[in-house]
Amino acid sequence: MNIYLLSSPESTYGSAWYVDKEVIGQTIRCSVNPNHIHGGKRQSDLSILLTARIIKSFIWTWYSDCILPEETYQWFLDMKFTGFTVRPVKARMKKNPPEPVIIPPLWELVLTGWGGIAPENSGIKLDEYCPYCKSVSYTGFHNPTTLFDEKQWDGSDIFMIWPLPNYIFVTERVAETIIKKKMTGCRVIPLKDVRTADSLGPGLLSYYMTEERIRELNLPDDFRENLV
């Protein structure tokens, strides 16, 4: 089957900024290895500064968060797309424009759909794991078509493949509809054209999914023990 990546535009123009001190995250420092300093789970909803006056169908932050304006969110619901939930986003303009901009309700797209763990033939393997601070790194991939294993997929329209939690994978139904509706502020990239990566450092699955959702997944015991 045909799988696509829902991605931000190639240009970073219009990317939203985090509001300093309003987006709260963890900083984890290893008790054993002083070189292990890394981020943890975000503790707050997003609070952003918009840098473009035109509100497009999709908005992205500099950290690759995908934000849906109310119209796009309602369209996702109308189409009965599966594999996602949302969190509210607080937003204001970074600079006061000459004319007022009406900012609609905004929602952060949160993945609940599961495409499984990238198969070993993708080249992705656990490279480093620290049991003290849970610092995790993986080798990268150079053939993106090997990332998707249909046997592990839960059938969701929108889903993640581990360890690529910030990659939003979608089915052909989602991709074709986005293209037909001429939605703005995004790209839909065929899996074969996804840019390769030399290394990956996603952290733990619990940074991205709720404990309830993780319990529903059929995860290998060693993964559940160390990487959740």
User: For the chain, how many structural domains are there in total?
Assistant: 1
Q: Give pLDDT, residue 224.
A: 84
Q: What band does 226 get if pLDDT is binned at 50, 70 and 90?
A: confident
Long-range contacts of 191-194 (CB under 8 A, 24+ apart): 191/2, 191/3, 191/4, 191/5, 191/144, 191/145, 191/147, 191/148, 192/144, 192/145, 193/144, 194/5, 194/144, 194/147, 194/167
To the question of pTM greater than 0.75 for the whole model, the response is: yes
- And the tokens for 82? 């599966």
pLDDT at 10 over 80: yes
Q: Give pLDDT, residue 132.
A: 92
The radius of gyration of the chain's CA atoms, rounded to the nearest angstrom, is 18
Q: Give pLDDT, residue 56.
A: 96
Distance CA 110, CA 26 (A): 19
Q: Give pLDDT, residue 222.
A: 83
What percentage of residues in the chain have a pLDDT greater than 90? 80
- And the tokens for 188? 């839909």
- 90-132 pLDDT, tens digit each: 999 988 777 777 899 999 999 999 999 999 999 999 999 999 9
Phi and psi torsions of 76, nearest 5°: -55, -40
Q: Give pLDDT, residue 190.
A: 97
pLDDT at 208 over 90: yes
- 141-172 pLDDT, tens digit each: 999 999 999 999 999 999 999 999 999 999 99
What percentage of residues in the chain have a pLDDT greater than 70? 99
**Alpha helices in the chain, H assignment, sequence order:** 70-78, 172-180, 211-216, 221-226
Distance CA 146, CA 40 (A): 28
Q: Give pLDDT, residue 196.
A: 94
Listed in order, strand segments (DSSP E) in the chain are 3-7, 17-18, 27-29, 37-39, 46-50, 59-60, 66-69, 84-93, 106-111, 114-117, 126-129, 136-141, 158-162, 164-171, 187-190, 197-200
Phi and psi torsions of 9, nearest 5°: -60, 160
Distance CA 90, CA 2 (A): 35
Distance CA 196, CA 83 (A): 24
- 180-190 pLDDT, tens digit each: 999 999 999 99
pLDDT at 80 over 90: yes
Q: Which residues contact 176 (CB under 8 A, 6 or more apart)?
A: none
Q: Give pLDDT, residue 197.
A: 93
- And the tokens for 83? 């594999």
Q: Residues 25-30: what's their mean pLDDT?
A: 90
Q: Which domain holds residue 202?
A: 3-226
Q: Give pLDDT, residue 81.
A: 98
Q: Give pLDDT, residue 45.
A: 96
- Most confident by average pLDDT, 71-80, 91-100, 218-227: 71-80
What's the whole-number average pLDDT of the chain?
93
pLDDT at 60 over 90: yes
